[in-house]
Amino acid sequence: MNWSETLVIGVASSALFDLTESHAVFEEYGEDEYRSFQETKYEEQLAPGIAFPFIRRLLGLNDLAPGPSPVVEVIVLSRNDPETGARVMRSIETHDLPMTRAVFTQGRSPYKYMPAFGMKLFLSANPKDVAEATELGFPAGQVVGSVADLEADDPYDRDLRIAFDFDAVLADDSAERVYVAEGIKGYHEHETTMAEVPLPPGPMKDLLAAINRIQDLEDARTKDDDTYSRRLFVSIVTARNAPAYARAIKSLKSWGLRVNDGFFLGGWEKSAVLEILKPHIFFDDQMSHLEGTQSLVPSVHVPFGVKNS
C-alpha cells in the first residue's frame, strides 16, 4: 500500500476520551490502583473526549479512498503501558472507530514517535507533552474545555468542519512579532508594505495541505456522482482585517492551499462566529482567545510563537 498520501494523526487517550475518573484514581491512589481500576472497568465504555467528534468524522472520510490505502489513519499515542491502555483500545472498538494502531510508552510522552508515522498532528490534553512537541517542531495541540454536543442539532449530519486561526497556526509568528514590538499602527503599516510577500508557513500548514488533498478527492467524487454532497469544510477565523487580510490570502495562494470560508474579524470576539459556524475543532495559538470558545466548540491550543513565549 502507498501511505504517502494518507493523513496520519496521533491522538492521546486523554484527547479522544474523557479520562477524568481514571486520572483521579491515578492521582489519589497511584499506579497500582489505577492499573486495577482499568482492569475492572475494561468493558465499561469510556465517554467521548474533546477530540472525539473530530476524529470520528475524519475517519468517516475513508470512504473516499480511491485505492487500498486509507485517506486517514489515526493512531493512539499514549503514556499508558500496554496493559493499562487495553481499556482505551476496547473503548475504541465499542465506539466503532476504525483505529487499530497504538503506541504505549509507560509514563513517558510518545510524541517523539511522530516522525516514524509521518504524523501531521498530535492532540493531547497534557500541556507539557504538547509544549515539548511544539518546541521540537512537531505539529501539536492541547485540547481544552468540555465536550461539545455537536450531534444534537442534526444527528444525521456527516459534515466535518475545521477552523484555524491564521498567525502562529497556519503561518509563522513573524507578523505577530511586529505587532508585539510596534503596536497596531506599526503592524498595519508593515502588513500593507508586505502584502505581496507570503508569510513563512506555521505548524499547521502541512495539516491543511493534507486536508486539501482530501477535498480534492471530494472534487473528483462530485464530478463522477452528481448526488454526492461535500462533507469537509475548512475556515479561517482570524483577528486580521483590512488591510492585513490581504497577506493571509496571498500566503495561502503561494502555498498552493485553500479554505472554504474566511472570517477576518479585526478583534471582534471569535466565539460569536464560532457559535454559529460550529466547527468540530478550532485551532488557535492564544489561550486567551480560547477562553471564549472552549465551552462552545472543541478547541485546541497551539503553543507556538511569540504570544506563548
pTM reported for the whole predicted model: 0.94
Distance from chain centroid for Cα 70: 19
165 within some domain: yes
Same domain, 182 and 120: no
Same domain, 202 and 283: yes
45 within some domain: yes
Same domain, 98 and 195: no
Same domain, 139 and 215: no
1 within some domain: no
Q: Which of 112, 144, 176 is the last residue of a domain?
A: 144
Neighbours of 216 (CB within 10 A): 12
110 within some domain: yes
Same domain, 20 and 138: yes
User: What digits encode the pLDDT tens for the residues 275-293?
Assistant: 999 999 999 999 999 999 9
Q: Which pLDDT band, with edges at 50, 70 and 90, does 32 fall under? A: confident
Q: Which of 117, 144, 171 is the last residue of a domain?
A: 144
Same domain, 68 and 184: no
2 within some domain: no
Same domain, 41 and 111: yes
Region 163-177: mean pLDDT is 96
154 within some domain: no
How many domains in the chain? Answer: 2
Same domain, 41 and 112: yes
Same domain, 198 and 301: yes
206 part of the active site: no
Same domain, 21 and 68: yes
149 within some domain: no
Give me the sheet containing 102-104, strands edge to edge. 102-104, 72-78, 7-11, 121-124, 140-144, 299-301, 281-284, 160-164, 232-238, 261-264
What would the grid cell of residue 143 be? 485540547
Domain, as residue range, for 187: 160-308
Q: Which helix (H) or strand (E) holds 250?
A: helix 245-255
153 within some domain: no
Same domain, 112 and 214: no
User: What digits encode the pLDDT tens for the residues 37-88?
Assistant: 899 999 999 999 999 999 999 999 999 998 889 999 999 999 888 988 999 9
What is the reported pLDDT for 1?
A: 45
Q: Which of 95, 119, 144 is the last residue of a domain?
A: 144
Which domain CATH number covers 18?
Answer: 3.40.50.1000
Region 130-151: mean pLDDT is 87
- The single residue of 129, 165, 172, 206 carrying the catalytic annotation is 165
Same domain, 93 and 225: no
